[in-house]
Structure formats: structure tokens, C-alpha cells
Amino acid sequence: MLSEKIETSINKQINEELYSAYIYLAMSAEADRLGLPGFSNWFKMQFQEELEHADKFFNYVLERDGKVNLAAIEKPEIGEETPLSLFEKALNHERHITACISSLKDLAKSESDHATDVFLEWYVSEQVEEEANAQQVIDQLKLIDGSPNGLFMIDRELANRTAAPAD
């Protein structure tokens, strides 16, 4: 059984993960508007991944005999963007999610909730990967320095991303 603090915090994290999905869906639409189908695909795959993350938390609460409390999802703040600004926003958002996961992990340790602490290990590793993936694209975009040919090549590379198998 989850403590009230842990249950409340995980429910908040479910909302964070759903918001993450929502923001990546908005980024996908913006990349499509920019005529970058590969970038749009990358963000759409990220959208699907974030839904899976929310679902893992959702199921965990239920497995621990907790109550899921869904909250409203905030509107993403995505305007007219560049490929670089989209990925910078993605990286900043992933850093926010990393901080959320770290706070949850600290709470699980303080509550001596070993099951939740172990459950969160997957998310800790996942966040390292999430930040690295966004940083890699940022580095490539900076390297090409606005070159249309370089942007075309990155777009083609990002078009190859497929949904990762759910863990």
C-alpha cells in the first residue's frame, strides 16, 4: 500500500507524464508545419513514449492498491519555433522531468518505500537517455549552423525513429 504522500506525488507525476506527451504532440505539429516530417516523427514517437510512461505510473498506483486521481493537463506553450528551439524546449522539459523523478525517489527513500524506490530506478535511467537524445540533436543542429542540406540530413535521420518496445 502506498502512503498518502507517495500516492499524491505519483498522481502528480502521472499528470507530468501526460503533459509531456501533450507537449511532444504540439512539437510534432510544429515540426510538421515547418515541413520537417522527420522531426515531426521524432516528436510523435516521443509523444507515444510519454504516454507509456504515464501508463506505467498509472498501473503502479493500482497495483499498490492506491487511487488514481487524474488532473487537468496544462496547454503546451509552443509557438512558431525553429528546429533548434523545439529541441532546446524538449531538453529543458526533460530536465524538469528528471528533477520530478529525483524528488519522487527522495520521497520514496524518506518514506522507506523500497518498492517505489526500486520502481523509480527505471525512470532514473530513462531520464539519462531522454536528456542525451535531445542533447544529441541539439549538438547536430548547432554543428550544421542553419545549413539547409544539414537540416535535410538530420530530418531524414529522425524520420527513421520507430516506437521502442514497451518495457
pLDDT, tens digit, 9 for 90 and up, residues 87-144: 999 999 999 999 999 999 999 999 999 999 999 999 999 999 999 999 999 999 999 9
Q: How far apart are CA 68 and CA 57, in angstroms?
A: 9
**What pLDDT, in 10s, does the model give residues 25-47?**
999 999 999 999 999 999 999 99
Q: How far apart are CA 46 and CA 42, in angstroms?
A: 6
pTM as predicted: 0.94
pLDDT category at 162 given cuts 50, 70, 90 is confident
Query: Is pLDDT above 90 for 163?
Result: no
Query: Is pLDDT above 70 for 82?
Result: yes
- For the 4-158 domain, the top CATH level (class) is mainly alpha
pLDDT at 146: 86
For the chain, give the mean pLDDT: 96
Query: Cell for 23?
Result: 507537449
Q: What is the dihedral of CA 94, 97, 101, 106, to 10 degrees?
A: 110
For the chain, domain boundaries: 4-158
